[in-house]
Structure 1
Amino acid sequence: MLQAEKYTTTSIIAAGAAAASAIRYQFGPGVSLSLLTAVALLPVWWPAMKQFRFVRPLLGLAVVAAVWGAVLTSTETMRPTSASLLLEQTFTLLSLAGGIGTLLWARTQLGIGGTAVAFGLGALANVALTGGNSANLWKYSLAVPVIIIVLGLTSTSARRWLDLLALAVLAGICLVSDSRSMTSFLLLSGVIVLWQSFMPPGRRRPRPLQTLLMLGVLSLGAFSLLQALILDGALGDAAQQRTQAQIDTSGSLIAGGRPELGAATALISHRPQGFGSGVLPTSQDVWIAKTGMSGLNYDPNNGYVEGYMFGGQYEVHSVLGDMWLRFGPVGAVFAIMLVACAVYAVARSVSMRAASGLAVLLTLLGAWDTFFSPLLTSSRTLALLFAITAIPVAEVIRRKAASTALLTPLSVPPHSNR
């Protein structure tokens, strides 16, 4: 009786912590509910990190990156600095790291599906707190939480056709809601989930790196096909016109839709060590960024660059770019390691025909966000991505033992002389 009560209490705390990890509400500069939850539960979740591969090195990188950004700020002599900005950016990074730990611990208590559902409910609560984006409530506010909840529920079943059905229905909703990117991610996730069922069984299955290469080719082919369909008007005239305009601007759909890439590469080339988490941009930095954006045939003189990208901080609409500019190369390595671990884990699951639609979709979203979405809006889902894809150490040991047993010949007892 006492054990059942303890289990229930722990599960409730884990569900509440997972939900809190999705809420961006702040009590001060960078002090979010997610960060406070992670700090409060640190004695609980830190010991559980030894159960998963690569977690502690990743969290260590986050701490080193935070220190790097602070050192860059304290040694800056040519640009203005802000203590409140330093705290805000540092706490945002630590909130991401703490969210990983919190959600991993929640996974040990609730399982992957339960953790995802709790997180999705927290994300819906965040929409209620912020009011959402009325311009397109589904596309900008509700889509990600609802998708995580639905796929979290289907991931609890071994029936992959439930994943496929959910992905198809959600893709249809996103299609009629003018969400091109999410529609493509959902459809590609469905293709990958379906494709893994045709993987050869047993020892004939491809290795994770081979699977990763095949997934890359498949993703590239799916992207090219979707772009062709959009340009042919299959997804509507509005999507066709926007896509064609982006391609006409820079010769590429990605570069045309994300001209901030030009600013990021120009600033990183100018100062590869980063600027600092509390450093404010100068007019020279803005000029360098505009020059990079102009190289993509984008007109940066429209107020967006000064007002959003460099209106009080460095914001290049890219997790990788934001991390590098604020926390230097260490921050960039942290971002790359996070998504690389997730991509490898999903490729490994696909090779074993065990990847869920939730894991595949979050990996695609995480890879996209790493290059093309701001750190502030992406940090929560990136924490969830790592938490649900992290590989348990016990599973690795078990599979190595099984492989060794298969490769070791049966021992033959020596003949007796008697």
Structure 2
Amino acid sequence: MAFAVAVASAQRIRLPLDIPLGVAVCALLLPVTLRALRQYRFAPTIAVFAVLAIANGIVLTELTRGWAGTSTRMATANSILLLGVVVTAIALLWVRSLIGAQMMVLGFGVGVLLSVASRGINWDNPWKFTFAVPCILIALSLPRVWGHRRAQIAVLLVLAAVSALQDSRSLTGMLVVVMALLFTQGAPGTSTSGRAALVATRVALVGVGGYFLIQAALLDGALGEQAQARSVAQIERSGSLLTGGRPELGASIALLTAHPWGYGSGVFPTGEQVQVAKQGMVALGYDPDNGYVNRYMFGNGFEVHSLTGDLWILFGVLGLAFAVVLALAVGASLVIRLASGTVSAVGAFLALRLMWDLAFSPIGSAALTLAVTLAVLLPAVGERKPPPASP
């Protein structure tokens, strides 16, 4: 039954009020799964901040009525989206407590793959936008791979090569950094006492080094001429591969500088606010007068293509606080496992994916993996040293 819950939690068939089927299943199981919330460190804090953020988003929406367009339906959908992350994470933590993290991840990965039947395939880049995440989760949680460092490295090499060939630059970089973290983590069973700061510094250095390594490979054409051309154009446009490839960052900074308290989960942007956002994008060398900006980003609410930005705009400063709590909880959990030499490739990948999502992914797509990230990485209460990884 627990494995079936993991599979079901990933289903995205839409029910009334735009509730995903997987979230509905997890909500129905809440009387059974809620006890898992107290069994894992940071989980109660994350849940509380999520509820506070949802309430704040509704309050901001009500305060905005009268001078900007608002939608109760949109506020409800955004609230359910955030609440669904927490409910799903609780269900997956419960699954983990019964059958372990490996089988939980495998079940969730299978569920995401099965959900393609209802979600459809994104033909712009099928690997990057549809198949990469479930394939990575499944491949790295197979019995002969999970907990076996050499097997994990071999699988990561294959996945990184496929991602590079499919023009998935950020994904390739993440997988390369995961390999570096597996190579540099402490020996299994090592005490974490006094090593947290050292490990955190190492993670930061590996991340920065991985970024510049991938950037150099892109500019040299090692990952293909198409990726090289896009990277050169983005750097020429704004002076940075990150800001050139993510002009939405300029919109986020401009909007939140103008209104740091946030906007509300059910608020439509005014014409003046759209112009403020566009000016922020122009500052990065991007021409925002196009359908992507007018329709996708601001045509039906706010979407700044950043989990942190979306949380802040939709749920105010408490949404920002929720993002900070997520980053600290997942970051601390990763450091603890790296210091003891017990991090899995899946755990490292999901942690890096969350950090990327916080900066560069929309809340809608980030929500899918956020729940399983928490379920994999949050340490159990009283957990000391997980079983050492095999060579």
What TM-score do you get using the length of structure 2 for normalisation?
Answer: 0.94
Shift of the 164–156 alpha-carbon distance from structure 1 to 2, 3 Å rule, reads: closer
**Aligned residue number for residue 389 of structure 2:** none
Cα distance, 1:201 vs structure 2: 7.3
Q: 1:281 to 1:189 in 2, by over 3 A?
A: same
Q: CA deviation at 1:226?
A: 1.3
Q: Deviation at 1:204?
A: 8.8
Runs of 4+ in 1 over 3 A off after TM superposition: 154-158, 199-206
Counterpart check, 1:140 vs 2:100: no
Indicate whether 1:163 and 2:152 are aligned.
yes
Name structure 2 gaps, 5 residues minimum. Answer: 387-391
1:184 Cα deviation after fit: 1.3
Superposed CA deviations along residues 254-304 of structure 1, whole A, max 9, x for unmatched, are 000000011111111111111111111110110010011111111111122
Shift of 1:215: 0.8
Deviation at 1:124, TM superposition (A): 0.7
Q: Aligned partners of 2:316 and 2:261: how far apart in 1?
A: 5
Q: Deviations over 1:130-161 (max 9, x none)?
A: 22112322222011101001112258743211
Letter in 2 for 1:150: A
Cα deviation, 1:342-388, whole Å, max 9, x if unaligned, reads: 12111111111111111011111110011100001111201111110
Structure 2 match to 1:102: 91
Cross-structure match for 1:385: 373
Give secondary structure in 1 for the equivalent of 2:383: helix
Instruction: Output the CA distance in 2 between the equivalents of 1:94 and 1:155.
Output: 35
- For the 8 Å contact 1:35–1:99, the answer to whether it is kept is yes
CA separation of 1:29 and 1:21: change in aligned 2, threshold 3 A: same
Q: Name the CA distance, whole Å, in 1 between partners of 2:341 and 2:193.
A: 9
Per-residue deviation, 1:225 = 1.3
Say whether residues 1:116 and 2:105 are aligned partners: yes
**Where do 1:44-55 residues align within 5 Å?**
44-55=32-43
**Any idea what the Cα deviations from partners look like across 1:77-106, whole Å, max 9, x if unmatched?**
310111111111111011111111111111
| Larger-Rg structure | 1
Cα distance in 1 for partners of 2:58, 2:270 equals 18
Residue identity (%)? 38
Q: Closer, same or farther in 2 for the Cα pair 1:157/1:149, shift >3 Å?
A: closer
User: 2:275 maps to what in 1?
Assistant: 287
Tell me the residue number matched to 2:140: 151
RMSD of aligned Cα (Å): 1.8
What do the CA deviations read for 1:166-220 (whole angstroms, capped 9, x no partner)?
Answer: 11111111122221111111111111111225x5974598612320111101110
Q: Which residue of 2 aligns with 1:229?
A: 217
Task: Tell me: CA distance 1:337–1:283, structure 2 relative to 1, closer, same or farther (3 Å).
Answer: same
What's the TM-score once normalised by structure 1's chain length?
0.88
Task: From the superposition, tell whether residues 204 and 58 of structure 1 become closer, same or farther in structure 2 (CA, over 3 Å).
Answer: closer
Taking the aligned partners of 1:160 and 1:42, their CA distance within structure 2 comes to 35
Q: Encode CA deviations 1:321-348: one digit per residue, 9 max, x unaligned.
A: 0011000011111122113211211111
Equivalent residues of 1:170, 1:186 under 8 A apart: yes
Aligned in 2, Cα 1:119/1:202: closer, same or farther, shift over 3 Å? closer
Q: Paired residue for 1:185?
A: 174
**Is residue 254 of structure 2 the alignment partner of residue 266 of structure 1?**
yes
